[in-house]
């Protein structure tokens, strides 16, 4: 069964304190791995797509990396406005095709000023 596990569940950082969020996954085949940011009561906001091991993508203070079994979201010098829940999702590679995203439970990040 396709499964996504994110750690830690919650993370508190001081402004400027860099850290990483982990997303480990188990799928029979991976079409893509996605990172989203979600604010309370709002829809997930797309951040990155990673397709193959070794791939890296960056956007402002965020950098996502991918290995064969996990992905990391590195946050460099975070600011209070980076506070949100970060969701990792995989799109399994299945016979006949499947578009669904399988989400992890997210990491709730709080950045204190």
Question: Which residues of this protein are in contact with other proteins, per CB under 8 A?
Answer: 31-32, 34, 36, 41-46, 49, 87, 91, 97-106
The least distance separating other proteins from the CB of residue 4, rounded to whole angstroms, comes to 8
Pick 18 or 110: Cβ nearer other proteins: 110
CB contact at 8 A, 106 and 85:
yes
The least distance separating other proteins from the CB of residue 57, rounded to whole angstroms, comes to 12
The residue among 106, 90, 92, 99 whose CA lies nearest residue 39 is 106
Pick 72 or 103: Cβ nearer other proteins: 103
In angstroms, the CA 4 to CA 24 distance is 6
Pick 44 or 78: Cβ nearer other proteins: 44
SS3 34: strand
Peptide bond connecting 105 to the previous residue in cis, omega within 30 degrees of 0? no
The least distance separating other proteins from the CB of residue 24, rounded to whole angstroms, comes to 15
């Amino acid at each position: 069964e396709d499964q996504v596990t994110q750690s830690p569940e919650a993370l508190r950082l001081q402004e400027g304190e860099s850290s990483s969020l982990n997303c480990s996954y188990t799928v029979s085949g991976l079409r893509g791995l996605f990172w989203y940011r979600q604010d309370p009561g709002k829809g997930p906001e797309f951040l990155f797509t990673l397709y193959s091991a070794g791939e890296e993508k960056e956007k402002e203070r965020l950098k996502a990396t991918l290995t064969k079994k996990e992905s990391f979201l590195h946050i460099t010098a975070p600011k209070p406005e980076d506070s949100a829940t970060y969701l990792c999702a995989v799109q399994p590679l299945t016979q006949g095709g499947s578009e669904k995203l399988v989400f992890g439970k997210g990491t709730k990040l709080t950045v204190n000023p």
